[in-house]
Structure 1
Amino acid sequence: MIYGYIRVSTDKQTVENQRFEIKSFCKARQIEVDKWIEETISARKKLEERKFGRLMKKLKNGDIIIVSELSRLGRNLLQIMSILNDCMERNIQVLTVKEGYELGNNINSKVLAFAFGLSAEIEKNLISERTKEALARKKSEGVILGRPKGKKSDITKMKLYRHRKAISRKHEEGMTYSELSRVYKVHRITVSSFIKRLKEEEICLNRNIENQNQVIE
Structure 2
Amino acid sequence: MPQVFAYIRVSTAKQDHQNQELEIRRYADKEGIQIDHWFRLEASSRKSTKERRLDELLDELESGDTLIVSELSRLGRSLSQIVLTIDSLREKDVTFIAIKNGMKFNGDHDATAKIQIAMFGVLAEIERDLISERTKMGLAAARAEGKTLGRPAGSLGKSKLDGKEKEIEELLGKGMTRAALARYFEVSPPTLTSFLKTRMPDLHKAHRQPSKKK
Q: Normalised by the shorter chain, which TM-score bucket?
A: 0.5 to 0.7
Matches of 2:15 and 2:149 in 1, distance apart? Answer: 40
Structure with higher Rg: it is: 1
One of 23, 28, 31 as aligned partner of 2:30:
28
Matches of 1:43 and 1:78 in 2, distance apart? Answer: 20
Could you say which residue in structure 2 is the equivalent of 1:102?
A: 104
One of 53, 56, 63 as aligned partner of 1:54:
56
Secondary structure of 2:115's match?
helix
Distance change >3 Å, CA 128–CA 40, structure 1 → 2: same
Secondary structure of 1:37's match?
strand
Could you say which residue in structure 2 is the equivalent of 1:112?
A: 116
Letter in 2 for 1:132: K
Matches of 2:147 and 2:27 in 1, distance apart? Answer: 54
Percent identical residues: 42
Asked if residue 143 in structure 1 is aligned to residue 129 in structure 2, the reply is no
Aligned-residue offset at 1:100: 1.1
Matches of 1:47 and 1:121 in 2, distance apart? Answer: 26
Structure 1 runs of 4+ off > 3 angstroms? 11-14, 46-50, 143-148
Could you say which residue in structure 2 is the equivalent of 1:69?
A: 71
Asked if residue 91 in structure 1 is aligned to residue 106 in structure 2, the reply is no
Aligned-residue offset at 1:39: 2.6
Unaligned runs of 5+ in 1: 152-217
1:65-214 equivalences in 2 (<5 Å): 65-103=67-105, 104-105=107-108, 106-145=110-149
Distance change >3 Å, CA 20–CA 72, structure 1 → 2: same
- Of 84-93 and 46-55, more deviation after overlay is shown by 46-55
Aligned-residue offset at 1:114: 1.2
Whether the aligned pair in 1 keeps the contact of 2:70 and 2:98 (CA below 8 Å) is yes
Distance change >3 Å, CA 116–CA 60, structure 1 → 2: same
**Residue by residue, what CA displacement relative to the aligned partner does 1:160-181 show, whole Å, maximum 9, x if unpaired?**
xxxxxxxxxxxxxxxxxxxxxx
**Residue by residue, what CA displacement relative to the aligned partner does 1:95-152 show, whole Å, maximum 9, x if unpaired?**
011111112321100111111111111111011111111111122223344599xx9x
Distance change >3 Å, CA 69–CA 146, structure 1 → 2: closer
CA RMSD of the aligned region, Å? 2.4
Whether the aligned pair in 2 keeps the contact of 1:11 and 1:40 (CA below 8 Å) is no
- Of 38-47 and 81-90, more deviation after overlay is shown by 38-47
Secondary structure of 2:147's match?
coil
Q: TM-score, normalised by structure 1?
A: 0.61
Secondary structure of 1:15's match?
helix
Whether the aligned pair in 2 keeps the contact of 1:6 and 1:18 (CA below 8 Å) is yes
Distance change >3 Å, CA 137–CA 56, structure 1 → 2: same
Matches of 2:13 and 2:150 in 1, distance apart? Answer: 38
Matches of 2:74 and 2:45 in 1, distance apart? Answer: 8
Query: How many positions carry a matched residue from both structures?
Result: 149
Q: TM-score, normalised by structure 2?
A: 0.62
Letter in 2 for 1:123: E
Whether the aligned pair in 1 keeps the contact of 2:11 and 2:17 (CA below 8 Å) is no
